Structure 1
Amino acid sequence: MITTAPPSPPTRPLLRLRLAPHSALPRRLDGVWWPRSYDLLAELPQLLAALPRAWGHIAGVTVNGAAWSAAPGRMLVANQVVRLRKTVAVHAPDTVVLLAPGHGRWDLLVVPPGTTEEAAEPIITAALSDRA
Structure 2
Amino acid sequence: MTTTLDRTTPGDLAAELPVRLSLTPKTILAGQLDGAWWPHSRELEAELPPLIAALSQLWGRVTRVTVNPTRWPVIPHTVAVDGHTLHVGWFTEQDPDKLILLSYTVGRRDLLVIPPETPPAAAARLMTAAVITGRLLTAGALAANEAVIGHGIRDTQRREADWESEGGACMSPYGSPMGPTAHPRPANGRR
Greater share of residues in helix:
2
The alpha-carbon distance between structure 1 residues 116 and 101, as it changes in their structure 2 partners (threshold 3 A), is same
Of 30, 33, 40 in structure 2, the residue corresponding to residue 29 of structure 1 is 33
Of 89, 107, 113 in structure 1, the residue corresponding to residue 110 of structure 2 is 107
The alpha-carbon distance between structure 1 residues 129 and 54, as it changes in their structure 2 partners (threshold 3 A), is closer
CA displacement 1:8-65 (0-9 Å, x = unmatched)? xx89222110111111222211110000111000000000011153412111000111
Instruction: State the structure with more CA Rg.
Output: 2
Provide the identity percentage: 39
Q: Report the Cα distance in structure 1 between the residues aligned to 2:127 and 2:81, rounded to whole angstroms.
A: 26
Query: Paired residue for 1:65?
Result: 69
The alpha-carbon distance between structure 1 residues 112 and 81, as it changes in their structure 2 partners (threshold 3 A), is same
Map residues 1-132 of structure 1 onto 2, 5 A cutoff: 12-89=16-93, 92-132=95-135
Q: Report the Cα distance in structure 1 between the residues aligned to 2:130 and 2:106, rounded to whole angstroms.
A: 23
Greater share of residues in strand:
1
The alpha-carbon distance between structure 1 residues 52 and 79, as it changes in their structure 2 partners (threshold 3 A), is closer
Residue 51 of structure 1: SS of its match in structure 2?
helix
Query: Paired residue for 2:149?
Result: none
Residue 59 of structure 1: SS of its match in structure 2?
strand
Query: Paired residue for 1:3?
Result: none
The alpha-carbon distance between structure 1 residues 12 and 89, as it changes in their structure 2 partners (threshold 3 A), is same
Residue 60 of structure 1: SS of its match in structure 2?
strand
Query: Paired residue for 2:163?
Result: none
Q: Which amino acid aligns with 1:84?
A: V
Q: Which amino acid aligns with 2:27?
A: S
What is the total number of aligned residue pairs between the two structures?
122
Moved over 6 A (4+): none
**CA RMSD after TM alignment:** 1.8
Query: How far off is 1:102 after superposition?
Result: 4.0
* Higher relative contact order, structure no. (Cα contacts within 8 Å, ≥ 6 residues apart): 1
Conservation of the 8 A alpha-carbon contact between 2:63 and 2:87: yes
The alpha-carbon distance between structure 1 residues 121 and 54, as it changes in their structure 2 partners (threshold 3 A), is closer
